[in-house]
Amino acid sequence: MTKKRETTKKLMVEQLKKTPIVQVSCEKVGLGRATFYRWKKDDEAFSKNVDDALLEGNLLVNDLAESQLINAIKNSNLGAIVFWLKHHHPNYATKVEVTAHLKHQNEILTPEQEALVKRALKLASLLPEKKGEVEDDK
């Protein structure tokens, strides 16, 4: 690997920590997106560093956004206050009321339907398998 490529990879990782948007970071570093994704696919260490940098960058942006939101709340911005309460206080969360009438509540299943339900539950590991019971793959 050339020294220039190695330097560009390091610059890209550092840029992603500051701006976790691949397109923007590529433009700032002077790297084509196709090259970036080829390097990411071919170089496992670079790929891991990129993923870590994107996570770190996203956390930074989240911190900045939360800080701005708190400042807006301190400045009595009603929209910010409502947003915060809806997402952080259960009494203000958006609620959906569902009313339904189920007709099949006590409906009896056919033996074939029962077998299908039992098989599905076994496959989902929700029913224990009985000893001596052989699973048939139909």
10 in a structural domain:
yes
Distance CA 11, CA 26 (A): 10
Q: What are 65's two structure tokens?
A: 């956004």
105 in a structural domain:
no
Q: What is the pLDDT of residues 121-131, one digit of tens each?
A: 888 876 666 66
Domain count, the chain: 1
47 in a structural domain:
yes
Are 13 and 50 in contact by the 8 Å Cβ rule? The answer is yes
pTM over 0.95: no
109 in a structural domain:
no
Task: Tell me the residue range of the domain where 45 lies.
Answer: 3-92
44 in a structural domain:
yes
62 in a structural domain:
yes
More confident residue, 125 or 86: 86
53 in a structural domain:
yes
More confident residue, 6 or 105: 6
- The three-state secondary structure class of 44 is helix
The predicted structure's pLDDT at residue 138: 46
26 in a structural domain:
yes
